[in-house]
Amino acid sequence: MATAWLDLPAPPALPGLFARAALRRGVTGQTLPSHGLRCSVSVDPGHLTRYRQICGFSDDGRLPPTYPHILAFALQMQLLTDKTFPFPLLGLVHLENRIRVLRQLGGLGPFSVSVQVENLQPHEKGAVFSLITRLEDQLGLLWEGDSRILCRALRLNGQPIQRAEDEPLALGEIAQWQAPANIGRRYARVAGDYNPIHLSAFSAKLFGFPRAIAHGLWNKARALAALGERLPAAGYVVEVRFQKPLLLPGEATLLASDVAPSGQFKLQGQDGIPHMSGSWRVI
């Protein structure tokens, strides 16, 4: 089915969307909305600087490969809290994330950013769908993200699709960092993502966590910043699978394979607890 696009004059304001998310309860259907949202965005240099600092990216004249997610966050929130979206936003779990950097992410825009949902499938723990985000300039598609998200409250008929596992490569430690207790709040102020599970031990306990946990996309951004020269300027794909949450405060160690057109990495905590595994490849 073709996507019906709704063009917005500007990204929506977040406070009302957070209120809508907090009030939403229960699954209302098994069909994803067929419309998507898009609008024009430009990068605020000061905001970009703060994002680079909190995620560890150097200023190389390009947008960090995870930054388009930040540009699209308000649109994502509006789509996922729309009355046509059948699942409550609170309780959804970000399982996997893939980004494709097709051309160098240079300049500050204006860009066109778009979001849509698709590919609802059965999963052993519920149902999963893709939140697709795209960033374009006047020449066409620059960047694409696919966030695979789990809804535990819905069960679908059919067999879950089995995920193919790559042959593991030899990994060596390349970086280590501390994740302080307030990193969830600091990242939220930059990213706009004020999910209670990331903000404090008190709010995280309301959702079954012993302490606040780090944002998955902060983990990914911090890892990609540390991968450095292993990633080309453009023409590559990075995929990650989020595993056990990184409890705050915590410590993370990044391991990666050697510099090559394709490779693997993983983020682990104390005692080897797996927080994230991933791979990159040139396209």
pLDDT at 282: 97
Domain boundary among 120, 138, 163: 163
CATH number where 235 lies: 3.10.129.10
Q: What is the pLDDT of residues 21-69, one digit of tens each?
A: 988 889 999 999 999 999 999 999 999 999 999 999 999 999 999 999 9
Domain boundary among 142, 163, 184: 163
Residues 156 and 232 in one domain: no
Tokens 């207790």 belong to which residue?
181
- pLDDT above 80: residue 98: yes
Tokens 């160690």 belong to which residue?
253
pTM: 0.94
Residues 86 and 191 in one domain: no
CA dist 6 and 266 (Å) reads 38
Residues 88 and 101 in one domain: yes
Residues 132 and 194 in one domain: no
CA dihedral sign of residues 38, 44, 49, 50: negative
Residues 65 and 89 in one domain: yes
Q: What is the pLDDT of residues 187-240, one digit of tens each?
A: 999 999 999 999 999 999 998 999 999 999 999 999 999 999 899 999 999 999
pLDDT at 30: 92
Residues 120 and 75 in one domain: yes
The number of folded domains in the chain is 2
Range of the domain at 138: 1-163
- CA-based nearest residue to 149, from 73, 200, 98, 100: 98
Residues 84 and 174 in one domain: no
Residues 3 and 143 in one domain: yes
Residues 63 and 83 in one domain: yes
CA dist 7 and 54 (Å) reads 31
Q: What is the pLDDT of residues 121-153, one digit of tens each?
A: 999 999 999 999 999 999 999 999 999 999 998
Residues 206 and 66 in one domain: no
| pLDDT band, residue 1 (cuts 50/70/90) | low
Residues 110 and 12 in one domain: yes
Domain boundary among 113, 141, 163: 163
- CA-based nearest residue to 192, from 91, 74, 108: 74
